[in-house]
Structure 1
Amino acid sequence: MAATELSEIQTELRKSRDNLGCSLKSLRHNHSARAGDLTLLRKTASGPVRSEIATPAQDRGMILGMSLLPGHRRRIREGSRRYDRVFDQDAIYIREFDVDYAATAEGAFDFLLIELPLHSPLRLRPTNEALDPRLGQMARGLLDWLARPALLDPLASDEIGARLMLHLERNHAITRRLRRRSRLSPAQLARAKEMLMSVEFEGLRLDDVALALDLPRNAFFRGFRETTGLSPYQWLLAERLEQGRLLLRLTQLPLVDIALACGFADQSHFTRMFTRAQGLSPGRWRRAVQA
């Protein structure tokens, strides 16, 4: 076979697979999103699927995989090791990308994958046999977002990453650093709230506020939550909703104008968040309080 022909075949094979070596044709869901420093992926295949997965060794950090379904079987080759595994629901594996990995996957599967970058300060304990029901609960709450990540506020996406990093550090880190409770100072808290509420900071990220306070991102996230009892995004959402309630009660402004005035992306976003918090849509709530 000519070298050019072989190269063309290899190129076509790469196009038919994702960057984990999974066949794209076999995947029903193939979602991905960024959450802070983490890359989150969902890989799903239905029916009596048999597929080959191959990821060559590379400088790429670490990956945690979690099975959202029971009963998936894999025959695995990881470096020089070979073993079989049946995944229960909430079963996880953690591995480095620095060794060749290949697997024959049998049966339907639904995996949430969390990829840590190469230079992440967090190092996880590699494992082939572990369960993490709490992470499974968190993962199932992320599936709608993973299908449409652009609909979520960037600050909320960052917080997903921060919450996952805290969970991984507490439960799967090679060494866990002892941390003292670290509340923000009054000046730091005031500056953080000012930035969160300011219209000048549209598309604000956790890194932006942390940098202004001269804190690492996760330290700011923990400190804000310990000081206020809420995460930065939860606090911001509560403030926006309170502004919305005030405008609904005291004005006759259209809902779309109230949504934009309070910092929501659009009327639909405002309605969804308001209904979740109040149990009533903004229109019904306004009619009830103005009756």
Structure 2
Amino acid sequence: MPAQQRQFLEAQPAPSTDALGCSASKLALNQEFHGGGLTFYRKSTDNERFGNVATPASDRGFLVGVAMRGGHRRRILHGNHASTHDFDQGSIYIRDFTDDYRADLQGGFDFMLIELSRDFIERVNDEKGGPRVSSLLPRAGEGDAVLAHLSQVLAGVVADPAASSSLFVDHLSLAIGTHVLGQYGAGATSGWADTGGARVLSRKLEARAKDMLLATLRENASIADIAEACNLSRSYFIKAFRQTVGTTPHRWLLEQRVQKAQELLRVPGRSITDVALLCGFADQAHMTRVFTSVVGVSPGAWRRENVG
């Protein structure tokens, strides 16, 4: 090879890869969202010959992948050995970032990916009680109906983060963390530790929690903030709130926002878009979805039926 051509080839930049070792230019969908202490990705391609992915060992924690559709196969390299795995819709894989990872991806794919840091795992350990989990067991190609369902919800969050409140993302992240540690954590037990007796909030703590939730119409407080103000763990707070009020904090807040929307919809001349923003919804479409789920009809239909 002529020296000039060799120098030209050596000067070419390496193909761009993302944080998970994928060639970004080959992805048809490449989304990322941080929330609830987790990092979520959605990556998809119709490229039947996507090629290799590789990430060097690091202390980032663990990665859980959930196949959103079937037809994908990957050959995972383990030193001088390799194993091949087929993925149907709802199949998962779990890998530890402390291991070098190399895989050959065959067939198109669509994955929801959840990155769990070690700090997040420690936090869930503190809240769930029982034996502590220090690592997750590797998996490749096994089905998980719970994660498959949660990933469908996640897809909407990652696609449009502004439409989901931090309270909802906190709930979702905690549900994912609890399930993953319970099912795949080394030495883990499923479910929450039973401390005995009913978990209820005192009237003072109930009032404080509701005041902070209502303040999220202006300030987007998180479950962790409210639990800390009540001197409780997130998990205990969520369960105690539900036991006391009869619904989750997120659902209660949505119902309060819908009640406020009903009051404002009675005001002549006020647009539904204005009502949505005043009540803390991302936009009119977001309010319509929530309003319909709570009341049973759309804001416009409710206004026509109840406002003369």
How far is the alpha carbon of 1:47 from its aligned partner? 4.0
CA contact (8 A) 1:60 1:98 kept: yes
Separation of aligned partners in 1, 2:273 and 2:217: 20
Q: 1:1-291 counterparts in 2 under 5 A?
A: 12-13=13-14, 16-78=16-78, 81-119=81-119, 120-121=121-122, 122=125, 123=133, 124-174=136-186, 175-176=188-189, 178-180=192-194, 182-198=199-215, 202-249=219-266, 251-252=267-268, 254=270, 255-291=272-308
How far is the alpha carbon of 1:103 from its aligned partner? 0.4
Following TM superposition, the consecutive aligned residue runs of length 4 or more in structure 1 with deviations greater than 4 angstroms are: 4-9
Separation of aligned partners in 2, 1:5 and 1:222: 63
CA contact (8 A) 1:162 1:221 kept: no
TM-score (norm 1): 0.87
Q: Partner amino acid for 2:260?
A: Q
Q: 1:21 to 1:190 in 2, by over 3 A?
A: same
CA contact (8 A) 2:292 2:298 kept: yes
TM-score (norm 2): 0.82
Partner SS for 2:208:
helix
CA contact (8 A) 1:79 1:99 kept: no
* Structure 1: 5+ residue stretches without partners: none
Partner SS for 1:125:
coil
Separation of aligned partners in 1, 2:303 and 2:206: 32
CA contact (8 A) 2:29 2:45 kept: yes
Q: 1:116 to 1:79 in 2, by over 3 A?
A: farther
Q: Aligned residues: percent identity?
A: 38
* Structure 2: 5+ residue stretches without partners: 126-132
1:76-116: per-residue Cα shift (whole Å, max 9, x none)?
Answer: 01456521111122111112111111000000111111111
Separation of aligned partners in 2, 1:96 and 1:169: 14
Q: 1:225 to 1:164 in 2, by over 3 A?
A: farther
Separation of aligned partners in 2, 1:247 and 1:256: 11
Separation of aligned partners in 2, 1:161 and 1:74: 27
Q: 1:264 to 1:5 in 2, by over 3 A?
A: same
Separation of aligned partners in 1, 2:228 and 2:287: 29
Tell me the C-alpha RMSD between the 2 structures.
Answer: 2.6
Q: How many residues align?
A: 285
Per mean C-alpha deviation after superposition, the further-off stretch among 252-261 and 64-73 is 252-261
1:193-226: per-residue Cα shift (whole Å, max 9, x none)?
Answer: 1110126861111121111012222332333234
How far is the alpha carbon of 1:74 from its aligned partner? 0.8
Q: 1:229 to 1:32 in 2, by over 3 A?
A: farther
